[in-house]
Amino acid sequence: MAANTEPLPGTSDLWEPEVTAWREIEDAAREIFGRYGYTELRTPIFERTDVFVRNLGDQTDVVQKEMYTFNDRGGRSLTLRPEGTASVMRAIANKGLATGEECRVLYMGPMFRGERPAAGRRRQFHQIGCEAVGCNSPWMDAEVIAMYTHFLKALGIEGSRVLVNSRGLPADRPAIAQALQDYFRPHLDEMCEDCRRRFESNVWRILDCKQPACHALAEGAPKIVDMLSPDSRAFFDRVCDGLNALGVEFELAPRLVRGLDYYVHTVFEITHNALGGQDAVAGGGRYQITLPGSNTPIEGIGFATGMERLLMIREALGHKPAEQPAADTYIVALGGDDVISAGLKVAGQLRAQGLGGRVHADFTGRSMKAQMRSANRSGASRVLILGENELASGAIVCKDMAGGTQETLPLAQIESLFKK
């Protein structure tokens, strides 16, 4: 039986020109987020499992159903990171952050969740995220959301929707949870099994349920922002004022709660209708996380955006990555080892000086016709031809593929060809 060479479901190999499309997005992220003072942080791809369980919440779908958790040879429970925020906070705790100090980081890389693969839902997916830690101001929330819309604009993505809500502070929650339970209690029979469980364990999650019956019921639930304490409401109003000041169009999404438990105050999602069912291209919010060895929770605000989903949108909007030719300069060597080695040397000289772009030297010793066919296929704009005669007279033939012209140059002057 032939070996199965396909990547595992929900994972993929990335080839050019896709890699170029990815790099364009990564570069835009570094450029735009850099303007707001974010610098890059790279954390390990796996962590101790408790880094995620403690921070994301043990009742969340991610922790309960989706984490890739395994024991290493020493019997320690480790997990492939399902998201970046918990790792960033662990890294900051490890480095230490003085009281009142702010830290702004951006990160990018693979994340892992054992979800059922679908369009825009992968098991290894890639996020670009930002976290601004140690800043408790609502204006910061507005700035972070605006920064993401700035990024979308830089990528030429129009037509997204910015959905915003507040979850208030932990102290606001018992009264809100009570009001939600009072609302859902008479309808328990109509709800899915998960939501009947959530009714007791975490009634907020019902608002997030995708099952049609639960979703329809959630539509009529009391609005969280109307039940916030006056301070939390004032915080939320300032976030909205900040967004208005920055000219960001947004919508209040009264039932947006997000799937992770660490959020306080502002939560937001950016959606785009080019995505279909999984329509969130980014999600984030303000969070409070208690770092190990501390009793005081530290606050941050951030978001993560899915690389694969950004690419889906750009593709739907007709964006094509710049195609890269396999070679810009192709060196044809017609003859034996002496000619091939001379071609190799020319290629080395050009690359050392950064001349001629991507330089490909042909080592096959094939016929002129065969090597020229390969040169054509490579997309090279210039072909340099060396034969026994040229080698003997210290010359090289240079063919301009676009113009069809050809000239013979002394080998020693080859560099002048590229410096014109």
Distance of closest approach, residue 234 Cβ to ligand HAM, in angstroms:
22
Beta-bridge partner residues of 230: none
- Contact call for residues 47 and 79 (beta carbons, < 8 A): yes
Least distance from ligand HAM to the Cβ atom of residue 131, Å = 6
Q: Please, what is the minimum distance in Å from the beta carbon of residue 314 to ligand HAM?
A: 13
β-sheet bridge partners, residue 264: 286
Report, in Å, the least distance between residue 304 CB and ligand HAM. Answer: 4
Task: Identify which of residues 165 and 329 has a Cβ nearer to ligand HAM in the complex.
Answer: 165
Q: How far is the CB of 94 from ligand HAM (least distance, A)?
A: 18
Binding footprint of ligand HAM on the chain (CB under 6 A): 83-85, 113, 115, 120-122, 125, 127, 129, 131, 259, 280-285, 287, 302-306, 308-309
Task: Assign residue 233 a region (left: φ > 0; alpha: ψ between -120 and 50; beta: otherwise).
Answer: alpha
Nearest in space to 340 (alpha carbons), one of 408, 390, 378: 390
In terms of Cβ atoms closer than 10 Å to its own Cβ (0-12, 13-18, 19+), residue 288 is middle
Is 269 or 362 the residue whose CB approaches ligand HAM more closely? 269
Minimum Å gap between C-beta 76 and ligand HAM is 23
Nearer to ligand HAM by Cβ, of 65 and 185: the residue is 65
- How many C-beta neighbours within 10 Å does residue 244 have? 12
DSSP H helices, 202-306, are: 212-219, 230-245
Between 304 and 417, name the residue whose CB sits nearer to ligand HAM.
304
Closest approach of ligand HAM to the CB of residue 311, in Å = 11
Alpha-carbon span 5 to 13, nearest angstrom: 11
Residue nearest to ligand HAM (CB): 306
Smaller CB separation from ligand HAM, 264 or 350:
264
Nearest CB to ligand HAM, comparing residues 272 and 360: 272
Q: What is the DSSP string of 304-364?
A: EEEHHHHHHHHHHTT--PPPPPS-SEEEEEESSHHHHHHHHHHHHHHHHHT-SSSEEE--S
Residue 102 or 411: the one with the smaller Cβ distance to ligand HAM is 102
